Amino acid sequence: MTKSPKFWLLSTLLLAFVLTIPIWVLASFVFQFGNDNWQHLLDTLLPEYIINSLVLMFGVAFGTLLLGVPAAWLISHYQFTGSRWLHWALLLPLAMPAYISAYTYTGLLEFEGPVQSALREVFGFGVSQWFPEVRSLGGAVLLFSLVLYPYVYLLSRSAFGSSSQKALEVSRTLGAGPVKSFFQVALPMARPAIIAGVTLALMETLADFGAVQHFGVDTFTTGIYRTWSGLDDTNTAMQLSLVLLSFVGILILVERWSRQQQRYYVGDVKTDASDYVQLTGKKNVFAFAVCFLPILLGFLVPSGQLLYWSLTTAETNLNSDFFELTWNSFSLALITAVATVAVAVFLAYAKRMSNLSRVKQFVQVAHLGYAVPGTVLAIAIIIPLAWFDKTVDDFFYENYEISTGLILSGTLFALVFAYMVRFLSVALQSVESGLARIKPSMDDSARTLGASSWTIMGRIHLPLMHTSLITALILVFVEVLKELPTTLILRPFNFDTLSIKAYEMAADERLADAGLPALLIVLTSLIPVIILSKLMDKRSG
């Protein structure tokens, strides 16, 4: 049952269309002309939104590279104190939502917080004159770098770990030193993976609302929200979102371009213990510090603060409601992860099997959803779903005098659909990179032996890329668990999650009470992160 190119073309077209409905809804706002708010924005805040967003992007790109790449390199080539557990612990900040990390850091480092207060006690009032301001653009760059570097680390580690091993051996045999080999061989080879990781981090940065708002940094996203809510102007807000999307379009093009420059197919190279270089002395300490620092600042410090808050409020807060919240969050994340990865696999296959450029373009568009701010995405989903419900309702009412009411809006379906649009990119990045590493010649051999597409997929590809699939599942799972704005806007009656609870407490300026739900988000996310690292251990161990 080998499928014709037409099958792939039509099915991808349909799927890509459905998944990009919110983008089309957004695009339709281009044609809404109206008021002088654009002029007002141009005169006042727009330049700042653009500059802040750009500075944030460059800063986060630099920061995530600086934290993610060296750690990945050290972990995949050297043995040093703690390298065994640092290897998976470096993923921990994935479990920490940016806005929650932001709460903890302001709580700790602000003028009124314990750190500055203690310093003032010891060194006098002058301390606070030079103490860097947490709620600033620089603070935001650091914060995002700390919570988002795991994308860069994860993707570059797998690139360093498998594909570059052989080439590096050759380079070393030919007399290149470790530094030269790194910059001239390993880094260029891993570049597509590294850039994919940075792209994910940047998309997430651009779409963030909670953390930048808390830090008082005006970005495109806060501008969109302000225009929508403060100026009561949906049209201009949606048009601003389109400008934001064009930023992201460029980002995606750069990423694709980088990927097309090189194409390597390398089979799984098992590394054994003898491939790792044992570090000693100062080098050992240095390597440990490079890997431990991101974990300390990205995970341990904020979790410590959350734990402290949770303990101080546990007496009043810890009750059976939290089991329900945790269960809601967990099951929602699981269902979404499975569904999203299934769709990602299908799309990645369509691309590989059909070899039509049209199909590739459709799949490309599906990445855009990741960068749409959650609030905007939610509105762009409410509109078409409500339209669908209205159409169905009208049809049944006219023909059978039955009112079907709302079928899709306000249900968990709407929520899962929204997450899928938002996080498909995460799943696709992982699945595609897994698939890309399997040589097409393998498919050809299998086909010569009479295997159908489905057999090739089920018997050869899926087993070979199981790590990529699990990575995709877990990334989506964690993303959904952390997600706030879409959940807040689209969820059905009587359905609350941990992130909603954390938000409602924090929005009421009860940070300590937000500690427990936030900590539970982190703990629930840890389960899959640990599974992921175990699986990776098995592979490289």
Partner 1 sequence: MKFVKWQWLTTSLMALAVAMPMHASAQEELNVYSARKAQLIAPLLEDFSKQTGIQVNLITSKADALLKRLESEGRRSPADVLITTDAGRLHRAKEAGVLQASISPELLKKVPASLQDKDGLWLGLTTRARVIVYAKDRVNPQDLSTYESLTDSKWKNKICIRSSGNIYNQSLVASMISHKGEEATAEWAKGLVANMARKPKGGDRDQVMAVAAGQCDLAVVNTYYLGQMLNGSDEAQQEAANQVAVFWPNQKDRGTHINVSGIAITKSAKNIESANKLIEFMLSKPAQEWYAKTNNEYPVMDGVEPSDTLKSWGEFHSDHLNLSKLGELNPQAVKIMDRANWR
Of 23-62, binders to partner 1 (CB under 8 A) are 40, 43-45
**Which CB sits closer to partner 1, 33 or 493?**
493
For the chain, state the CA radius of gyration.
24
Report the nearest approach of partner 1 to the CB of residue 462 (Å): 7
| Interatomic CA distance for residues 237 and 234, integer angstroms | 5
Nearest in space to 136 (alpha carbons), one of 215, 232, 224: 215
Nearest in space to 325 (alpha carbons), one of 481, 531, 508, 527: 481
508 makes contact with partner 1 (CB under 8 A)? yes
φ/ψ of residue 355, rounded to 5: 60, 20
Report the nearest approach of partner 1 to the CB of residue 522 (Å): 21
Report the nearest approach of partner 1 to the CB of residue 338 (Å): 6
Q: Report the site for partner 1 in 237-296 (rule: CB under 8 A).
A: none
DSSP letters of 8-22? HHHHHHHHHHHHTHH
What are the angstrom distances between the C-alpha of 24 and each of 19, 76, 146, 234, 359? 10, 43, 34, 16, 18
383 makes contact with partner 1 (CB under 8 A)? yes
143 makes contact with partner 1 (CB under 8 A)? no
| Interatomic CA distance for residues 369 and 19, integer angstroms | 9
Residue 18, burial from CB neighbour count under 10 angstroms (0-12, 13-18, 19+): middle
Chosen residue from 3, 5, 15, 110 binding partner 1 by CB under 8 A? 110
Report the nearest approach of partner 1 to the CB of residue 243 (Å): 18
**Is 160:72 a contact under the CB 8 Å cutoff?**
yes
**Is 384:22 a contact under the CB 8 Å cutoff?**
yes
**Which CB sits closer to partner 1, 170 or 507?**
507
Report the nearest approach of partner 1 to the CB of residue 191 (Å): 33
Chosen residue from 234, 271, 284, 364 binding partner 1 by CB under 8 A? 234
**Which CB sits closer to partner 1, 426 or 456?**
456
**Which CB sits closer to partner 1, 50 or 167?**
50
DSSP letters of 208-256? --HHHHHTT---HHHHHHHHHHTS--HHHHHHHHHHHHHHHHHHHHHHH
**Which CB sits closer to partner 1, 112 or 398?**
112
232 makes contact with partner 1 (CB under 8 A)? yes
Chosen residue from 29, 504, 531, 535 binding partner 1 by CB under 8 A? 504
Q: Report the site for partner 1 in 445-464 (rule: CB under 8 A).
A: 454-455, 457-459, 462
3-state secondary structure 167-184: HHHHHHHCCCCHHHHHHH
Residue 102, burial from CB neighbour count under 10 angstroms (0-12, 13-18, 19+): buried
Binding mask 509-538 for partner 1 (x = CB under 8 A): xx-x--------------------------
Chosen residue from 204, 208, 233, 479 binding partner 1 by CB under 8 A? 233
Stretch touching partner 1 by CB under 8 A, among 175-183, 298-306, 355-363, 405-413: 405-413
Stretch touching partner 1 by CB under 8 A, among 23-31, 106-114, 421-429, 437-445: 106-114
Chosen residue from 52, 53, 164, 411 binding partner 1 by CB under 8 A? 411
Tokens of 522: 């982190």
Chosen residue from 8, 153, 215, 419 binding partner 1 by CB under 8 A? 215
Chosen residue from 169, 268, 275, 496 binding partner 1 by CB under 8 A? 496
108 makes contact with partner 1 (CB under 8 A)? no
Report the nearest approach of partner 1 to the CB of residue 527 (Å): 20
Residues in the chain: 541
**Which CB sits closer to partner 1, 82 or 216?**
216
Question: 79 - beta bridge partners?
Answer: 278
What are the residues whose beta carbons fall under 8 Å from the beta carbon of 132, sequence distance 6 or more? Answer: 138, 139
Chosen residue from 119, 269, 335, 446 binding partner 1 by CB under 8 A? 335
| Interatomic CA distance for residues 296 and 89, integer angstroms | 10
Q: Report the site for partner 1 in 339-358 (rule: CB under 8 A).
A: 339, 342
Chosen residue from 18, 269, 442, 489 binding partner 1 by CB under 8 A? 489
